[in-house]
């Protein structure tokens, strides 16, 4: 074995480039191209965790109060972020040669792993290369007042009604890469792909109990559509029940009278005496679901959804005036 | 029973096996045995009776924080909760039925009730000695689990108005089983069984004198009804088909909803403006901001404003859940409410409820105290519902600027269609310039540069871009630097990166070096993937294996097992050679076999003369051993020569007398060592 050291060193970078193993990670805790703990940190960085908000949205005017802003994620930006973090581990030129050689595999691994960040326990791991990532920022009282709201994104406009239920593994549902409150009133959501329709739903935690209220000046009336105690569906044909209130108090419901009125409607379960479960069932109110995405006009003109202060055309014409006429 | 995802099962009641309290357990054991004389009864085998005391504990004066799974409306929230009944979800499914409510109730009556109090209707006192937490004269059996507790001091008139009736209480608590996989409902519960207590009162927003909606702050208290169940009304008065909104004396025209938003964020709505402007008594943070006239002290019953006063609940909002980014400036505010403890938040929520207005006509209106296990406050405001907020949200792609004019003193941001924002920048030399910056969120899908993604950069300066308008685009350079600083801010990440460098860079480099020698290693039958520390041993073994397989290439031909003999060169007629060799006449072997045999029998065997050994031994030994051996050799040589002389008898032909059966032909042979010896001896002879 004859080793020519000069030749060896000149060939080494090429050899290193070819030597990158193509490892497919099968477990969070398993080392791939990157060691597991390093990979998890880089994936978090990929999903912009810890990035100061001013770097995400450079000016507060871009996210005024009570607004929702959709966006695409610039992969070059997130790549640069990861490159900056990886640069901490390089000390000498040889390290940089090595990192350059490993970088494509590192990037591919992160592309795959960023999808598995929010994977539900027990579900199959997601694989595949990098796709587009989009998302939205919501700055609203709805975020601070209704914590833990639900966000769902669909790759196609679901044919069902807007209030249909969708199982977690519905193939039309898009994965959420990140759903997090960055501030009490700012919600960041990242989708793995570009959704056609986005549902934002009032939090379901602690099902709410209440009535349909109608206001008339200083007074307030409320009605309660009766439900069937066995199926929990609204009883068809039954008129909504006027909710009785305690005289002389504000907002206090007269539950005994309500029970008597419910008992008059067959099927409510109140006929043989109302139990607390039956009472709760009658009062359950379902949360509101806001649907974003216009199936009628899938491609609105950009001017309707993007209003910059400087148009690109004017910027270009200001810089390149062109020949004078 | 498994509950399907997104479904839940309601139970009217889940009773605990035992109510909370002290119990005595007596264990008796009867032993029996049979012996040869007959059976032994229990009396003959006595076992001592075991008497044990045990205590079933249950929260009584304070709900442990981990037991409250969720509340609705959320604590400190502001919203349109007017058509929803407040509720609390408790983790322990049996909690509402774990205590005996006392006189007036039955075993199935919950001992807990959730009451909703508008500001001024009752007093909430925090951190009082347990003994003072119930109406004087009411005694609780058993032990208190805490030193301090909270209580709600409320007049009988208010109890009659807003507390549930005795018949209502059982209907307001139920148990619920939710699907354990629905994480939104779960929030950390272990078995999916929960207890829920609902209030009986809708927290309606208020109305001012002009009929406009104003926010009203409500307090929800989970109270202990033990021993005081009979304070509640037995049945409700005749129902009314409608209810009235609380009348609020505050002239709230000064404040619009966005102002409320700012106030509730804990920031001044208008710079330089006192929050009590208008003298209406809008106590935002401190009780000090309350004009005494509008807020009589609780004990001053004579100064009650009148029968309608109970509904006068001036709104206040001291919400602590500050939405930090709500600020007029361009920069993002830092977190304002950091470092506050849970206790501070509870105290804040209780603060507006420290005082109560006087009840109706003071006099014969007794006061009761109920222990409060948990309290939280929220503000019921006008139209702000989740639905309104979502439907009214300003929708656009990131890059869309606000339609409202920018705040004074601040120019409108410079936003280009591409999503780039013009920002001030100080270069390293100190020049103030404008640069373009665009974060990771862009309004258009980005196109990867030709040849794939962003190539690896090793320094942020590699990513600085000068765009045609002369400004620098620092977006990617900033991203690189943010990533680098984030990594540097975490020592564990640095350690991990350096470990990776050590273990993986160097291992990869070593592997690449070996890979350059792939051909050689293949020849050595070494698996390239298996190169490790034992490569030396592997190489040695490989070498031995290769040598064994191809010895010709390494060691040359091996010696044959048997060496063939030398061919004797005999020329002439074989018969003559034979007869000559035997020293008999050639004619003796010619003729009939019988004749030859008889002829041979009569022929005398010729004998060679024996060497003169004595002559050899008597030679002078002056020349030593060498001379002796030479003399021996010479004697032998003489024999040889005699023999050769015989061979050389003229007329004898040459006969090839090779080894019988050998296939080897006599071949011209190189002179070997023996030949050389003979030659040298011959020459020596001549010289002598």
Q: What is the 3-state secondary structure (H, E, C) of B304-331?
A: CCCHHHHHCCCCCCCCCCCCCCCCCCCC
A259 CB neighbours in chain B (<8 A) are: 171
Record: contact B442-A280, CB cut-off 8 A: no
Q: What is residue A216's predicted lDDT score, i.e. its pLDDT?
A: 66
Per DSSP, the residues of B242-274 read -EEPPB--S-GGG--HHHHHHHHTTS-SSTT--
3-state secondary structure of A137: strand
Alpha-carbon distance B69 to B88, whole Å? 8
Do B496 and B481 lie in one domain? The reply is no
Residue in B203, B404, B421 closest to A58 by CB: B421
User: Strands B78-79, B367-380: parallel, antiparallel or unpaired by DSSP?
Assistant: parallel
Which of A123, A182, A206 to mutate to probe the B interface, most B CBs <10 Å? A206
Cα distances (Å, whole numbers) of residue B441 to A133, A191, A196, B101, B169: 10, 12, 18, 58, 53
A164 in contact with chain B, both atoms CB, cutoff 8 A = no
Burial class (CB in 10 A: 0-12, 13-18, 19+), B605: exposed
Read off the pLDDT band of A2 (50, 70, 90).
Answer: low
Record: contact A150-B184, CB cut-off 8 A: yes
B457 CB neighbours in chain A (<8 A) are: 80, 83, 87
Do B467 and B331 lie in one domain? The reply is no
ipTM confidence: 0.78
Residue in B240, B241, B497 closest to A38 by CB: B497
Give me A218's structure tokens: 């200083």
B486 CB neighbours in chain A (<8 A) are: 45, 50-51, 81, 84-85
Read off the pLDDT band of A53 (50, 70, 90).
Answer: very high
Residue numbers of chain B with a pLDDT score lower than 70? 1-6, 179-190, 248-342, 345, 354-364, 382-384, 406-407, 448-452, 530, 532, 610-668, 685-688
Record: contact B389-A66, CB cut-off 8 A: yes
Per DSSP, the residues of A38-83 read HHHHHHHHHTTTT--HHHHSS-GGGS-SSEEEEEEE-HHHHHHHHH
Record: contact A280-B390, CB cut-off 8 A: no
Give me A13's structure tokens: 């970078």
Record: contact A254-B236, CB cut-off 8 A: yes
B71 CB neighbours in chain A (<8 A) are: 206
Record: contact B241-A244, CB cut-off 8 A: yes
Give me B100's structure tokens: 């005996």
Residue in A78, A217, A259 closest to B440 by CB: A78
A85 in contact with chain B, both atoms CB, cutoff 8 A = yes
Do B384 and B438 lie in one domain? The reply is no
A305 CB neighbours in chain B (<8 A) are: 395-397, 400
More confident residue, A187 or B257: A187
Give me B509's structure tokens: 């480099």
User: Quick one: closest CA in A to B8, which residue?
Assistant: A207
3-state secondary structure of B121: coil
Read off the pLDDT band of A5 (50, 70, 90).
Answer: confident
A168 in contact with chain B, both atoms CB, cutoff 8 A = yes
Centroid of chain to Cα B40: 65
State how far residue A229 is from chain B, nearest Cα, in angstroms.
11
Question: pLDDT tens digit string along B511-538?
Answer: 777 777 888 878 777 777 767 677 788 8
Do B165 and B31 lie in one domain? The reply is no
Record: contact A61-B406, CB cut-off 8 A: yes
B410 part of a folded domain: no
Record: contact A212-B83, CB cut-off 8 A: yes
User: How many CB atoms within 10 Å of residue B656?
Assistant: 13
B470 CB neighbours in chain A (<8 A) are: 319
User: Quick one: closest CA in B to A134, which residue?
Assistant: B441
A181 in contact with chain B, both atoms CB, cutoff 8 A = no
Cα distances (Å, whole numbers) of residue B417 to A133, B405, B434: 20, 19, 17
Alpha-carbon distance B566 to B673, whole Å? 13
Cα atoms in the Cβ-side hemisphere of radius 13 Å centred on A120: 8
Tokens 């442990």 map to which residue? B64
More confident residue, A89 or B280: A89
B468 CB neighbours in chain A (<8 A) are: 319-320
A301 in contact with chain B, both atoms CB, cutoff 8 A = no
Please name the residues in contact with B14: beta carbons below 8 A apart, sequence gap of 6 or more: B93, B94, B97, B175, B193, B195
Record: contact B398-A71, CB cut-off 8 A: yes
Stretch A47-67: mean pLDDT, rounded? 89
Record: contact B413-A212, CB cut-off 8 A: no
Record: contact A319-B468, CB cut-off 8 A: yes
- By C-alpha distance, which of B93, B112, B70 is closest to B197? B112
Q: What is residue B484's predicted lDDT score, i.e. its pLDDT?
A: 95
B372 part of a folded domain: yes
Do B189 and B327 lie in one domain? The reply is yes
Do B164 and B218 lie in one domain? The reply is yes
Give yes or no for residue A173 having a pLDDT over 50. Answer: yes
Give me B685's structure tokens: 């002879």
B387 CB neighbours in chain A (<8 A) are: 202, 288, 290
State how far residue B323 is from chain A, nearest Cα, in angstroms.
5
User: Quick one: closest CA in A to B261, which residue?
Assistant: A141
Residue in A20, A210, A219 closest to B85 by CB: A210
Burial class (CB in 10 A: 0-12, 13-18, 19+), B679: exposed
Alpha-carbon distance B117 to A66, whole Å? 30
- Do the beta carbons of residue A78 and residue A114 sit within 8 Å? no
User: Quick one: closest CA in A to B184, which residue?
Assistant: A205
Residue in B440, B488, B520 closest to A88 by CB: B488
B401 CB neighbours in chain A (<8 A) are: 61-62, 64, 307-309
Mean pLDDT of chain A: 79
Do B219 and B305 lie in one domain? The reply is yes
Alpha-carbon distance B662 to B655, whole Å? 16
Please name the residues in contact with A195: beta carbons below 8 A apart, sequence gap of 6 or more: A134, A153, A154, A155, A174, A293
Task: Cis check for the bond before B73: say yes or no (omega within 30 of 0).
Answer: yes
Residue in B168, B243, B395 closest to A250 by CB: B243
Residue in A19, A185, A246 closest to B236 by CB: A246
User: Quick one: closest CA in A to B505, which residue?
Assistant: A98
With a CB-CB cutoff of 8 Å, which residues 124-163 of chain A face chain B? 130, 132, 135, 137-150
B321 CB neighbours in chain A (<8 A) are: 144, 184
B637 part of a folded domain: yes
Which of B94, B400, B418, B511 to mutate to probe the A interface, most A CBs <10 Å? B400
Please name the residues in contact with A225: beta carbons below 8 A apart, sequence gap of 6 or more: A212, A234, A235, A238, A240, A241
B480 CB neighbours in chain A (<8 A) are: 80-81, 83-84, 87
- Do the beta carbons of residue B82 and residue B203 sit within 8 Å? yes
Do B129 and B242 lie in one domain? The reply is yes
State how far residue A314 is from chain B, nearest Cα, in angstroms.
10
Which of B68, B390, B407 to mutate to probe the A interface, most A CBs <10 Å? B390
B565 part of a folded domain: no
Do B377 and B509 lie in one domain? The reply is no
More confident residue, B685 or A152: A152
Record: contact A184-B443, CB cut-off 8 A: no
* Structural domain boundaries enclosing B152: 65-389
Specify the pTM: 0.56
Do B80 and B168 lie in one domain? The reply is yes
Do B471 and B617 lie in one domain? The reply is no
Record: contact A249-B161, CB cut-off 8 A: yes
Q: What is residue B372's predicted lDDT score, i.e. its pLDDT?
A: 92
Alpha-carbon distance A3 to B284, whole Å? 82
- By C-alpha distance, which of A178, A186, A279, A169 is closest to A224? A279
Record: contact B244-A76, CB cut-off 8 A: no
Question: pLDDT tens digit string along A296-320?
Answer: 666 667 666 777 777 777 777 776 7
B246 CB neighbours in chain A (<8 A) are: 250
- How many separate domains does chain B show? 5
B672 part of a folded domain: yes
Do B208 and B356 lie in one domain? The reply is yes
Centroid of chain to Cα A196: 14
């Amino acid at each position: 074995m004859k080793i020519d050291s000069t030749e060896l060193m000149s060939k080494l970078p090429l050899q290193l480039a070819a030597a990158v193993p193509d490892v497919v990670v099968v477990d969070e805790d398993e080392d791939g191209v990157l060691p597991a703990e390093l990979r998890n940190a880089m994936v978090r960085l990929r999903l912009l965790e810890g990035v100061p908000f001013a770097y995400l949205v450079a000016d507060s005017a871009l996210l005024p109060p009570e607004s929702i802003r959709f966006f695409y994620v610039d992969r070059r930006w997130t790549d640069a972020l990861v490159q900056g973090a990886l640069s901490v581990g390089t000390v000498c030129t040889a390290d940089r040669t090595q990192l350059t050689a490993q970088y494509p595999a590192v990037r591919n691994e992160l592309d795959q792993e960023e999808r598995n960040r929010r994977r539900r326990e027990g579900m199959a791991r997601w694989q595949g290369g990098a796709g587009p990532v989009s998302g939205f920022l919501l700055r609203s009282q709805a975020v601070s007042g209704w914590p833990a709201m639900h966000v769902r994104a669909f790759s196609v406009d679901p044919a069902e009604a807007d209030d249909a239920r969708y199982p977690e593994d519905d193939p039309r549902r898009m994965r959420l890469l990140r759903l997090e409150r960055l501030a009490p009133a700012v919600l960041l959501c990242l989708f793995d792909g570009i959704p056609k329709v986005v549902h934002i739903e009032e939090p379901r935690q602690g099902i709410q109990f209440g009535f349909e209220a109608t206001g008339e000046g200083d007074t307030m009336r409320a009605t309660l559509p009766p439900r069937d105690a066995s199926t929990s569906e609204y009883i068809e044909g039954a008129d909504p029940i006027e909710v009785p209130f305690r005289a002389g108090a504000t907002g206090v419901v007269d539950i005994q009278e309500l029970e008597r009125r419910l008992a008059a409607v067959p099927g409510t379960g109140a006929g043989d005496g109302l139990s607390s479960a039956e009472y709760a069932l009658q009062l359950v109110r379902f949360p509101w679901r806001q649907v974003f995405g216009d199936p009628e006009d899938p491609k609105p003109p950009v001017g309707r959804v993007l209003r910059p202060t400087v148009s690109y055309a004017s910027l270009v014409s200001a810089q390149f005036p062109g020949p004078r006429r | 029973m498994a509950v399907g995802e997104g479904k839940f099962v309601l139970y009217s009641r889940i009773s605990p096996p035992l109510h909370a309290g002290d119990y005595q357990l007596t264990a008796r054991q009867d032993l029996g045995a049979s012996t040869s004389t007959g059976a032994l009864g229990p009396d003959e085998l006595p076992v001592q009776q075991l008497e044990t005391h045990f205590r079933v504990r249950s929260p009584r004066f304070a709900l442990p924080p981990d037991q409250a799974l969720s509340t609705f409306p959320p604590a400190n929230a502001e919203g349109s909760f007017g058509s929803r009944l407040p509720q609390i979800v408790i983790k322990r499914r049996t909690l509402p039925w774990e205590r005996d409510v006392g006189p007036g109730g039955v075993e199935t009556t919950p001992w807990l009730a959730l009451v909703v109090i508008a500001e001024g209707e009752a007093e909430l006192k925090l951190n009082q000695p347990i003994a003072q937490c119930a109406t004087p004269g009411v005694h609780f059996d058993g032990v208190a689990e805490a030193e301090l507790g909270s209580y709600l001091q409320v007049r009988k008139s208010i109890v009659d108005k807003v507390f549930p009736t005795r018949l209502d209480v059982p209907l307001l608590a139920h148990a619920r089983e939710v699907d354990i996989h629905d994480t939104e409902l779960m929030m950390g519960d272990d078995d999916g069984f929960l207890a829920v207590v609902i209030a009986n009162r809708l927290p309606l927003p208020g109305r001012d004198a002009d009929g406009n909606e104003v926010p009203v702050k409500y307090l929800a208290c989970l109270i202990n009804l033990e021993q005081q169940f009979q304070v509640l009304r037995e049945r409700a008065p005749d129902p009314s088909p409608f209810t009235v909104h609380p009348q609020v004396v505050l002239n709230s025209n000064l404040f619009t909803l966005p102002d409320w938003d700012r106030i509730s964020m804990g920031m001044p709505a208008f710079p330089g403006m006192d929050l009590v402007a208008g003298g209406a008594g809008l106590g935002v943070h401190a009780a000090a901001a309350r004009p005494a006239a509008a807020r009589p002290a609780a004990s001053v019953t004579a100064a009650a404003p009148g029968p309608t006063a109970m509904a006068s609940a001036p709104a206040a909002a001291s919400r602590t859940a500050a939405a930090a980014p709500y600020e007029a400036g361009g920069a993002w505010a830092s977190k304002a409410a950091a470092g506050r403890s849970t206790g501070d938040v509870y105290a804040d929520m209780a603060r507006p409820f420290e005082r109560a207005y006087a009840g109706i006509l003071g006099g014969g209106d007794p006061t009761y105290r109920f222990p409060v296990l948990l309290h939280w406050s929220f503000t019921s405001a006008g139209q702000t519902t989740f639905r309104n907020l979502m439907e009214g949200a300003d929708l656009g792609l990131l890059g869309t600027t606000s339609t409202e004019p920018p705040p004074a003193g601040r120019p409108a941001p410079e936003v280009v269609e591409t999503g780039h924002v013009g920002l001030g920048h100080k270069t390293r030399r100190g020049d103030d310039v404008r640069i373009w910056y665009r974060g990771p969120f862009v309004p258009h899908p980005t196109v990867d540069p030709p040849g794939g993604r962003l190539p690896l950069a090793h320094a942020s300066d590699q990513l600085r871009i000068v765009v045609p308008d002369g400004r620098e685009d620092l977006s990617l350079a900033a991203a690189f630097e943010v990533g680098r600083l984030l990594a540097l801010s975490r020592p564990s990440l640095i350690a991990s990166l350096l470990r990776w460098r050590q273990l993986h860079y160097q291992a990869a480099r070593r592997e690449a070096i070996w890979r350059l020698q792939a051909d050689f290693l293949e020849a050595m039958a070494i698996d390239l993937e298996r190169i490790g520390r034992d490569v030396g041993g592997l190489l040695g073994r490989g070498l031995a294996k290769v040598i064994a397989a191809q010895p010709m290439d390494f060691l040359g031909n091996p010696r044959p097992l048997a060496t063939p003999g030398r061919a004797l060169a005999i020329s002439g007629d074989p018969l003559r050679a034979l007869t000559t060799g035997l020293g008999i006449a050639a004619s003796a072997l010619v003729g009939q076999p019988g004749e030859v045999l008889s002829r041979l029998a009569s022929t005398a065997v010729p004998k060679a003369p024996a060497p003169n050994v004595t002559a050899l031994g008597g030679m002078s030994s002056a020349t030593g051993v060498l001379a002796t051996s030479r003399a021996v050799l010479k004697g032998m040589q003489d024999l040889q020569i005699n023999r050769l002389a015989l061979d050389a008898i003229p007329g004898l032909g040459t006969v090839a007398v090779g080894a019988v059966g050998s296939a080897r032909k006599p071949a011209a042979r190189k002179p070997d060592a023996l030949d050389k010896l003979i030659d040298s001896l011959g020459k020596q002879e001549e010289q002598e």
